[in-house]
Structure 1
Amino acid sequence: MSKIENVSIKIQTGVYGQFRNLKNTVWFALGEYVDNAVQSFENNKSRLQQATNNGYQFEVRINIDNENDFIKIYDNAAGIGLDNFHRAFEPANIPIDNTGLHEFGMGMKTASIWLADLWTVRTGALNEDEERLVEFDLKKVLADERELLEVVNTNKNPSIHFTEITLHNLSKNAPSNYQIDKIKRHLLSIYRKFIRKGDMKLFINDEELIYEEPEILIAPFYNNLSGESIEWKKEINFSTGKYKVNGFIAILSTMSTSTVNGLSLFRRGRVIEGSHDEKYRPKALCGQIGSPRYKRIFGELELEGFAVSFNKGSFQEQEDLEALMEALQTEISSKDFDLYTQAEKYIKPKTLESNIAVAKNIVNTLKKTSDKEVLKTKLDASIKEIESKTLAANNEEFSKKAETIDSHEDIIEIKGEKYKLILELITEQSVSDLYSLIILDDELFSKKIVYKINLAHPFFTRFEKLKKEEDYQPIMLIIRSLVLAEIIAPSQGTKGAGNVRLNFNHFLRNL
């Protein structure tokens, strides 16, 4: 077999220096090597199985060793053969068949320079008797304006096949030890389809990555909880114009706001957008941030017809992608299988066992924090505040003057009477009430009810869990219910219904 003496890396050498500054992430950079290995496997699957009497298992191993300043990527696919060797090192030499994962002809080169100053490629192709080694030293290439790299050839057994890329003198882009866990999770998420099918085993620092499937909700429809339980997973097979999408959209069994909820968008079998904790969550499908739908909907969608970015980290036609997601909303909202509404309105019933556990924990907490003397002191302080007319007047005055951050209006009907209900959110340190209430006359409605909730109240700062808007929703509902109770109380013969609100505010502040 003829020996390869050198390979061309011809390009304006200054361009290589710019590769270091490309916008990228470590997992997408490492993914370039995995893409090449996967494509080599896909192109030579039958040959690899024949060479091992159907005992072949495709593997990719990535070792990150910061202590010794190197990263090694090894795969046992078919290697870089004689017919592809020159192309593999020439920048932007796009493969004749660019329908696979190595479509740009730049992945290995840009990723290697982005991650390191020095890198070597050692490879042996299946059914070839030459092993080849190439070294790329970025500083020498730039200093000498090199256009050729020497290839070192050694004899090997034709049955041996592999590619090993070693990165030395790592750049500032290289991963720290703290990033390794995140790299594992992203690469596992990106290549889950190949791992799930058993086509590939992926190892990071000798740990095999195993993908755990999210649990899908199996439950009756939200408005018929006694009905038949359904697996809430919708198979998608949809096309519009040049675009096609297939896969599934489903509802999580348990709500999530971290790495499980949201969509992963695939192209050619690997994730482009939506890996690990960077899920794709279009408003058309997932709703408002923090909503039940946002926390429940997840899925995998394989897209066709879309171009991708240079590092294969995003789709190019974002407006068309958003329009496609809007079309899919109709797909998951059909009357016979309304997954869209189920995701928003289904409430998972609490089991007897979970309620018993919660009850015991509540009682145990109360026992630990119960102190009669402290409680008496707090109650006395609350009574003094309740009886203080000056404090009540100040609260009313400061509440009226407080600037409204935002507001919301509702029209409600109670016992045939229509009311205009206005919520105003304020943040006023000088107001000691959690919420206040004003009932006004109105020409169009029986009454106009304005209630203000003070987000600067000590109650909200007392609990660390109150951070996001969804954390406040239960409290907002309780206050709204108290407002409605005060409105309806006089029609039931209750006098001085507002006293409950006044007393509630003071006890809440002190207890």
Structure 2
Amino acid sequence: MSVETVSIKIQTGVYGQFRNLNNKVWFALGEYVDNAVQSFENNKESLKKTQNGKYQFEVRINIDRENDQIKIYDNAAGIDSKNFQRAFEPANIPIDNRGLHEFGMGMKTASIWLANFWSVRTAALNETEERYVEFDLDKVLKEKREVLKVENTRKEKSKHFTEITLSKLSQNAPSIMQMDKIRRHLSSIYRKFIRNGDLQLYINDILLTYEEPEILNAPFYTDPKGRPVLWKKEINFSSGKYTVIGFIGILNTMSTSEVNGLSLFRRGRVIEGSHDEKYRPKAICGQIGSPRYKRVFGELELEGFAVSFNKGSFQEQEDLTALMEALQAEISAKDFDLYSQAEKYIKPKTQDDNVKVAKSIVSNMKKATKVENLKAKVETSLKEIDNKSLATKNEQLSKKAKAIDSHEDFIEIKDEQIKLKFEFISEPSITDLYTLEMGENDELFDKTATFKLNLAHQFFTRFEKFKSDEDYQPIISIIRALVLAELAASSQGAKHAGYVRNNFNNFIRNL
């Protein structure tokens, strides 16, 4: 028996699966904002003529968990008769899908994801009917409904709005604990519309604003006294079918949370990189925890990329990575080397900064003195300093310790050529933080010396801040300075210069 045709009409059971889609509450709520923004954009001139030219576009989202309800209201142009049928049919894509409501799925999927029951009341600008329709998920699934009844009432042509009410909320609906995060994400996603004054977006009657990060205005790191530069690079770059326009800049103050990193836009709204979920490609932002990672930020409008159904990510991730790698050359050009500035610039501390730090340190020292017996710790250190067997044991273990990695420096002290080798070791059994061994002289150098830094020392485990290579840099500089001071003291005729090192190692272990 031959089959001539097959049905491609969506089955009502599919609605039930919308609840299980991988989504986030700010993306779901964003679907309603997208529809409202697109309605405003499509009818901007007509809307601006209403209310005697005093029209202000706004979207209000009210989340009432106590009454198990969410209301979304906008005063855009409403859903007109041409689009009303399409608005309720899954995947009925708009004829012009170049805007924010491109998939014809947003309102339906978001509403079912958030609630079991939802209704839409809308009045389209320049039409004479107000329309109301209800969607009850339980009834649609039970009765396999394919048609919903629409209530029509007369209205003035000048009346225009859309109000969506969600009730019988699902487990996906926002909790009270999420409210602040929702506000921050939505203000970040729609910052361009908020920034230019087109959109006033309210969450529970709180008007959302977007706080602009402060851009670094300082000389290039190699010329601290030079002319200040505003570190913001305008981007206008194309590669194949892809185009990126926007800027990349350097933050005035380092950040490791929601400020640093990139926000990627498409059609004016953020797709990736809202609030604390910034996009941080290694090619632009560098290694996690590095100064560049903490300083680089930017806004990039992308064209040519497709997006996921919830507009939370771009589809062509490999191409996106390649595009970011290509952009690296744009921000590391010699005439405006933003890349190096972000990595190497050190912000000078002010007198106020130093006063604040000093007072905080003294306060903490006073608190520590109350719980620590400093006298006992000093006495313990002095006993260990006189413990010759402990010193001999550390010396023997240090010589046998296998280096994790090493680095060599070639220096000159008092006309003496010295080869200085720096090794990292990790030996918990060695109680010295660092050791210094003098090697045999050779034809090229008057002295050779190796100093070893023990990363397994209890000093590093005592403080949680030692995590990345950047965290170790200050202590490495101090140890190197102590080693050079010891070598210089010996060249200056000092006897037993190593006593300072031995004393330091014992005090740092116990204090």
Equivalent residues, number: 498
Query: Aligned pair 1:473/2:444, yes or no?
Result: no
Residue 354 of structure 1: how far off its partner (Å):
2.2
What is the SS of the residue equivalent to 2:270? strand
What is the SS of the residue equivalent to 2:276? coil
Letter of the 1:258 partner, please give it: S
Question: Which stretch has the larger CA shift, 343-352 or 82-91?
Answer: 343-352
Residue 311 of structure 1: how far off its partner (Å):
1.1
- Aligned twin of 2:453: 452
What is the SS of the residue equivalent to 1:53? helix
Whole-angstrom CA distance in 1 between matches of 2:320 and 2:281:
10
- Aligned twin of 1:3: none
Residue 70 of structure 1: how far off its partner (Å):
1.3
Residue 476 of structure 1: how far off its partner (Å):
3.4
Whole-angstrom CA distance in 1 between matches of 2:376 and 2:205:
61
- Aligned twin of 2:54: 55
Query: Aligned pair 1:317/2:303, yes or no?
Result: no
Letter of the 1:118 partner, please give it: F
Whole-angstrom CA distance in 2 between matches of 1:247 and 1:502:
57
- Aligned twin of 2:193: 194
8 Å Cα contact 1:16/1:113 also seen in 2: yes
Whole-angstrom CA distance in 1 between matches of 2:411 and 2:383:
35
Equivalent residues in 2 for 1:92-241 (5 A)? 92-241=91-240
**Using a 3 Å threshold, how does the CA distance of structure 1 residues 104 and 489 change in structure 2: closer, same or farther?**
farther
- Aligned twin of 1:257: 256
**Using a 3 Å threshold, how does the CA distance of structure 1 residues 108 and 442 change in structure 2: closer, same or farther?**
farther
Query: Aligned pair 1:408/2:405, yes or no?
Result: yes
8 Å Cα contact 2:434/2:451 also seen in 1: no
Whole-angstrom CA distance in 1 between matches of 2:402 and 2:111:
56
- Kindly provide the CA deviation profile for residues 454-473 of structure 1, in whole angstroms up to 9, marking residues without a partner as x: 3450x334445555554443
Whole-angstrom CA distance in 2 between matches of 1:502 and 1:485:
14
Letter of the 1:409 partner, please give it: S
Residue 36 of structure 1: how far off its partner (Å):
0.5
8 Å Cα contact 2:77/2:161 also seen in 1: yes
Residue 184 of structure 1: how far off its partner (Å):
0.6
TM-score by length of 1: 0.91
Whole-angstrom CA distance in 1 between matches of 2:444 and 2:257:
44
**Using a 3 Å threshold, how does the CA distance of structure 1 residues 489 and 145 change in structure 2: closer, same or farther?**
farther
**Using a 3 Å threshold, how does the CA distance of structure 1 residues 441 and 146 change in structure 2: closer, same or farther?**
farther
Residue 163 of structure 1: how far off its partner (Å):
0.9
What is the SS of the residue equivalent to 1:93? coil
Residue 99 of structure 1: how far off its partner (Å):
0.5
- Aligned twin of 2:433: 434
Aligned-residue identity in percent = 69
Query: Aligned pair 1:340/2:336, yes or no?
Result: no
- Aligned twin of 2:498: 498
What is the SS of the residue equivalent to 2:332? coil
Residue 174 of structure 1: how far off its partner (Å):
1.2
- Aligned twin of 2:423: 422
- Kindly provide the CA deviation profile for residues 190-235 of structure 1, in whole angstroms up to 9, marking residues without a partner as x: 0000000000001011100111110011111111111111111111
8 Å Cα contact 2:451/2:483 also seen in 1: no
8 Å Cα contact 1:435/1:454 also seen in 2: no
Whole-angstrom CA distance in 2 between matches of 1:340 and 1:333:
5
Residue 53 of structure 1: how far off its partner (Å):
2.5
Question: Which stretch has the larger CA shift, 83-92 or 336-345?
Answer: 336-345
Equivalent residues in 2 for 1:45-84 (5 A)? 45-84=44-83
**Using a 3 Å threshold, how does the CA distance of structure 1 residues 376 and 112 change in structure 2: closer, same or farther?**
same
Whole-angstrom CA distance in 2 between matches of 1:456 and 1:240:
50
- Aligned twin of 1:5: none
**Using a 3 Å threshold, how does the CA distance of structure 1 residues 441 and 314 change in structure 2: closer, same or farther?**
farther
Question: Which stretch has the larger CA shift, 177-186 or 47-56?
Answer: 47-56
Whole-angstrom CA distance in 1 between matches of 2:133 and 2:188:
31
TM-score by length of 2: 0.91
Query: Aligned pair 1:307/2:321, yes or no?
Result: no
8 Å Cα contact 1:132/1:151 also seen in 2: yes
8 Å Cα contact 2:122/2:131 also seen in 1: yes
Please list every run of 5 or more consecutive structure 2 residues that lacks an aligned counterpart in the other structure.
1-7
Report the RMSD for the aligned CA atoms in angstroms.
2.5
**Using a 3 Å threshold, how does the CA distance of structure 1 residues 390 and 25 change in structure 2: closer, same or farther?**
same
Residue 168 of structure 1: how far off its partner (Å):
1.0
- Aligned twin of 2:43: 44
Whole-angstrom CA distance in 2 between matches of 1:112 and 1:448:
71
8 Å Cα contact 1:269/1:302 also seen in 2: yes
8 Å Cα contact 1:263/1:300 also seen in 2: yes
Query: Aligned pair 1:35/2:37, yes or no?
Result: no
Whole-angstrom CA distance in 2 between matches of 1:277 and 1:473:
28
What is the SS of the residue equivalent to 2:254? coil
8 Å Cα contact 1:100/1:268 also seen in 2: yes
Please list every run of 5 or more consecutive structure 1 residues that lacks an aligned counterpart in the other structure.
1-8
Whole-angstrom CA distance in 1 between matches of 2:51 and 2:196:
20
8 Å Cα contact 1:28/1:313 also seen in 2: yes
- Aligned twin of 1:273: 272
8 Å Cα contact 1:239/1:245 also seen in 2: yes
8 Å Cα contact 2:432/2:457 also seen in 1: no
Whole-angstrom CA distance in 2 between matches of 1:505 and 1:107:
65
8 Å Cα contact 1:437/1:452 also seen in 2: no
- Kindly provide the CA deviation profile for residues 7-41 of structure 1, in whole angstroms up to 9, marking residues without a partner as x: xx951122111111111111111111111110000
- Kindly provide the CA deviation profile for residues 323-366 of structure 1, in whole angstroms up to 9, marking residues without a partner as x: 11112111112222111111111111112232233334444544
Residue 170 of structure 1: how far off its partner (Å):
1.2
What is the SS of the residue equivalent to 1:41? helix
Whole-angstrom CA distance in 2 between matches of 1:33 and 1:442:
77
**Using a 3 Å threshold, how does the CA distance of structure 1 residues 505 and 43 change in structure 2: closer, same or farther?**
same
- Kindly provide the CA deviation profile for residues 236-267 of structure 1, in whole angstroms up to 9, marking residues without a partner as x: 11112111111111111111111111110100
8 Å Cα contact 2:418/2:449 also seen in 1: no
- Kindly provide the CA deviation profile for residues 158-191 of structure 1, in whole angstroms up to 9, marking residues without a partner as x: 2111111111111111111111111110010000
Residue 108 of structure 1: how far off its partner (Å):
0.8
- Kindly provide the CA deviation profile for residues 356-398 of structure 1, in whole angstroms up to 9, marking residues without a partner as x: 3333444454455557993322211101111223433454566
Question: Which stretch has the larger CA shift, 499-508 or 74-83?
Answer: 499-508
Whole-angstrom CA distance in 1 between matches of 2:457 and 2:116:
54
**Using a 3 Å threshold, how does the CA distance of structure 1 residues 365 and 82 change in structure 2: closer, same or farther?**
same
Residue 493 of structure 1: how far off its partner (Å):
3.5
Letter of the 1:17 partner, please give it: G
